[in-house]
Amino acid sequence: MKAAVITFPGSNCDRDLAVAFERAGFEVSRVWHKDTALPAGTDVVGVPGGFSYGDYLRCGAIAAQSPVAAAIRAHAARGGYVLGVCNGFQVLTEMRLLPGALMRNAGLKFLCKSVGLTACAESAFTDGYAQGQRVDLPIAHHDGNYTIDAEGLARLQGERLVAFRYTDTPNGSMDDIAGVLSANRRVLGMMPHPERAVDPAHGGTDGSALFARLMGGMALA
């Protein structure tokens, strides 16, 4: 399986994401934001955390208009997998690959700590966790308050597209939402960082199951 990890000016988790994919067995290519095509045979695109384009305008807004964005949209449109983490989640909402928006944290402060999550949906990303299983992953964001209109929230709930919920919401997100899936369950955006929890030396490995299960699920698809 092949993964492509995007780098924007201001990305700071692109290497971490590439390493997490590699540990799970993916062949990883690094893609610059000015590239207009993904490497041939790409199965999953990773959109990393950081501060793309300095978070000017809105977080992820400029990245969503970058040259590589059209290739990511086309990949998703043909059923390819996409994982956006933190700033990557913000980029995917700005690209309208996922619904909702990430607003300023309710406490108006940057948050950097480990948080508890529970897996809430079935997908190639989440099936490595039992439904309701608690996992602990780090967060590092200033604009992680997931917001969506009532109709959109009802759809996410009714179609079980909420991938992860916080056990104790740190940022004010509606319905404790920490991550959401696209309608076909092949695009995941999440604020916590699974790629920062794949090495015991970093304090935990709860993120490993996401990458391992994605590798296994895609191989069977």
Centre a 10 Å sphere on the Cβ of residue 58 and count the other Cβ atoms it contains.
15
Looking up tokens 């000017």 gives: 56
**Neighbouring C-alpha atoms within 13 Å toward the C-beta of 72:** 33
Edge-to-edge strand list for the sheet holding 162-166:
27-32, 2-7, 44-47, 81-85, 187-190, 177-181, 162-166, 111-119, 134-141
Closest CA to 90 of 39, 147, 43, 37: 147
**DSSP bridge partners of 159:** none
> What is the rounded CA–CA span in Å between residue 48 and residue 89?
8
Active-site residue flag, 59: no
Beta-bridge mates of residue 58: none
193 noted as active-site residue: yes
Give me the catalytic one of 13, 33, 59, 86. 86
C-alpha neighbours within 13 Å on the C-beta side of residue 64: 20
Residue 178 CA to residue 174 CA, distance in Å, equals: 9
Name the catalytic one among 33, 75, 141, 193.
193
Q: What is the DSSP letter of 183?
A: T
Alpha-carbon span 175 to 147, nearest angstrom? 9
Return the amino acid letter for 204. Answer: G
> Which residues are catalytically annotated?
86, 193, 195
